């Protein structure tokens, strides 16, 4: 189709990696307009945890539309919104002893991050927010300031202020606890770091290259925040909604963030939806202070409720994610032992897994080769050097194996072609 070249902006990105016109999708599969079939290991960058057009919610959504249910409602109370809140409270918050207020923001992740940072600044009266190296929080200006990636930052056109960057877990090597540094600079009135309103962190950095914060580091981060009276914001937009095995990515660490952002798979069906969860005492918004026309995407409320009911009423789904995650990490471990001259490594938690190929060019060759074999899979990280395994969580065992087999054969071919892997700068 020539129309894309004719009038679609150069800003396109995924369309460049997967230059086909897609037409249909189901579960973990997609088809292009010529009927070619692909396995989807990109899953809308984590928006399709429950797969494409999930049959458990599709009839519910169709019924709702058929019966002229409200589609758009600004922030008015609707039955669909009320039922989502009830289900979210009963199945997600209460069983985890979580007491939070829910703010509906505009339906993108970056919108939720903006709101989270605003409320933290307004409540504390401090401007500064601590963010981490390789963090990704969206591309609107406030969230972009918190994002590390220079490719995205350089497009801002204005200076990006109000944040201070700190090294993420592991950034300075395995033996350095970077929260000690944070504690030190916050304790020193001459460190030059203004007392922050909050820290914003991803438990697993998705766009930043699948960097996993250890449980101990997260606990220690919370301790440092408490000690210095700083709010802890967990951006769970990509790592949440089951990706790491639990509903929230921080559950295993047992930490209690003051503010949490959710989006991507929250809507369940790939429909836009984002929220901010905040401790009740932080909910100091004045009516309409932060708004957005599309805060009331009721179709997403309907499918979000259905997704929670179907998948999060008991432990079954969570156990399944952990089992498939374990299988994935064992397979990837074997692959890196076999290929990449001992320089490739694995990383991840749950079904949030990757192979660090050290070199972006090689990772790109691997994913392009995999696409030729019918697998949609992307890279992430500072130099796009990590092959990112991000299939829908509902994937069948058979297709999970098939997808990994495809990557294995792509890696085998690329490594055979390359001879040896160049000794390049080792990206974090």
Site of interaction with ligand PLP (CB under 6 A):
108-110, 113, 136-138, 202, 206-207, 235, 237-238, 263
Helices (H) and strands (E) in the chain, counts: 14, 17
**Taking the complex as a whole, how short is the minimal distance between the CB of residue 67 and ligand PLP, in angstroms?**
29
Residue among 324, 317, 375 nearest 351 (CA): 324
Q: Which helix (H) or strand (E) holds 120?
A: helix 109-124
Residue among 169, 287, 259 nearest 221 (CA): 169
**Taking the complex as a whole, how short is the minimal distance between the CB of residue 117 and ligand PLP, in angstroms?**
12
* 179: CB partners within 8 A, 6+ apart: 217, 220, 221, 223, 224
Distance CA 174, CA 121 (A): 32
- From residue 379, give the alpha-carbon distance in Å to each of 33, 50, 368, 393: 25, 21, 10, 19
**45 or 370: whose CB is closer to ligand PLP?**
45
**Taking the complex as a whole, how short is the minimal distance between the CB of residue 43 and ligand PLP, in angstroms?**
12
Residue 40 β-bridge partners: 376
**49 or 263: whose CB is closer to ligand PLP?**
263
Q: Are 375 and 351 in contact (CB under 8 A)?
A: no
**Taking the complex as a whole, how short is the minimal distance between the CB of residue 151 and ligand PLP, in angstroms?**
15
Strands 259-262 and 275-278: antiparallel
**Taking the complex as a whole, how short is the minimal distance between the CB of residue 390 and ligand PLP, in angstroms?**
11
**44 or 374: whose CB is closer to ligand PLP?**
44
Is residue 201 helix, strand or coil?
strand
Q: Are 377 and 399 in contact (CB under 8 A)?
A: no
**183 or 258: whose CB is closer to ligand PLP?**
258
**45 or 358: whose CB is closer to ligand PLP?**
45
**Taking the complex as a whole, how short is the minimal distance between the CB of residue 412 and ligand PLP, in angstroms?**
31
**Taking the complex as a whole, how short is the minimal distance between the CB of residue 236 and ligand PLP, in angstroms?**
8
* 363: CB partners within 8 A, 6+ apart: 355, 357, 379, 384, 385, 386, 387
**Taking the complex as a whole, how short is the minimal distance between the CB of residue 355 and ligand PLP, in angstroms?**
19
**221 or 362: whose CB is closer to ligand PLP?**
221
**Taking the complex as a whole, how short is the minimal distance between the CB of residue 227 and ligand PLP, in angstroms?**
26
**263 or 353: whose CB is closer to ligand PLP?**
263
**Taking the complex as a whole, how short is the minimal distance between the CB of residue 292 and ligand PLP, in angstroms?**
12
151: exposed, middle or buried (C-beta count within 10 Å: 0-12, 13-18, 19+)? exposed
**28 or 235: whose CB is closer to ligand PLP?**
235
Q: Which helix (H) or strand (E) holds 90?
A: none
Nearest residue to ligand PLP by CB is 109
**87 or 263: whose CB is closer to ligand PLP?**
263
Radius of gyration of the chain (CA): 21
DSSP calls for 280-324: GGG--PPTTSS--GGG-BHHHHHHHHHHHHHHSSSSHHHHHHHHH
**203 or 400: whose CB is closer to ligand PLP?**
203
């Amino acid at each position: 189709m020539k129309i894309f070249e004719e009038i679609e902006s150069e800003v396109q990105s995924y369309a460049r990696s997967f230059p086909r016109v897609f037409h249909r999708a189901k579960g973990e599969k997609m088809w292009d307009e010529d009927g070619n079939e692909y396995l989807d290991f990109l899953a809308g960058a984590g928006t399709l945890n429950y797969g494409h057009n999930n049959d458990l919610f599709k009839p519910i959504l169709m019924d709702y539309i058929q019966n002229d249910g409200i589609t758009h409602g600004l922030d008015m109370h609707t039955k669909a919104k009320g039922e989502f809140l009830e289900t979210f409270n009963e199945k997600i918050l209460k069983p985890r002893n979580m007491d939070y207020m829910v703010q509906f923001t505009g339906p993108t992740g970056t919108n939720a991050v903006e709101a989270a940072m605003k409320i933290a600044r307004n409540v504390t009266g401090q401007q500064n927010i601590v963010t981490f190296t390789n963090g990704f929080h969206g591309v609107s200006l406030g969230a972009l300031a918190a994002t590390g990636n220079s490719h995205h930052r350089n497009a801002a056109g204005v200076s990006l202020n109000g944040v201070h960057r700190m090294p993420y877990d592991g950034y300075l090597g395995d033996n350095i606890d970077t929260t000690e540094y944070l504690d030190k600079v916050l304790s020193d009135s001459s460190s030059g770091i203004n007392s922050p309103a909050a820290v914003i962190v991803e438990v697993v950095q998705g766009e930043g290259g699948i960097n996993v914060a250890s449980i101990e580091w997260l606990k220690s981060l919370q301790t440092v925040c408490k000690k210095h009276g700083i709010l802890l914001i967990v951006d769970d937009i990509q790592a949440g909604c089951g990706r790491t095995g639990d509903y929230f990515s921080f559950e295993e660490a047992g930490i209690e963030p003051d503010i949490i952002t959710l989006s991507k798979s929250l809507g369940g069906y790939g429909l836009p939806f984002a929220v901010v969860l905040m401790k009740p005492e932080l909910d100091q918004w004045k009516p309409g202070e932060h708004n957005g026309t599309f805060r009331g995407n009721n179709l997403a409320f309907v499918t979000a409720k259905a997704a929670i009911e179907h998948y999060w009423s008991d432990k079954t789904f969570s156990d399944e994610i952990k089992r498939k995650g374990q299988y994935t990490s064992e397979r990837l471990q074997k692959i890196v032992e076999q290929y990449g001259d001992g320089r490739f490594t694995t990383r991840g938690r749950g079904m949030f897994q990757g192979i660090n190929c050290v070199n972006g060019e090689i990772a790109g060759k691997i994913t392009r080769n995999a696409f030729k074999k019918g697998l949609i899979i992307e890279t992430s990280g500072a130099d796009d050097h990590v092959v990112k395994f991000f299939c829908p969580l509902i994937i069948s065992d058979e297709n999970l194996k098939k997808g990994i087999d495809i990557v294995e054969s792509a890696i085998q071919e690329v490594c055979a072609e390359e001879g040896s892997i160049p000794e390049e700068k080792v990206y974090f």
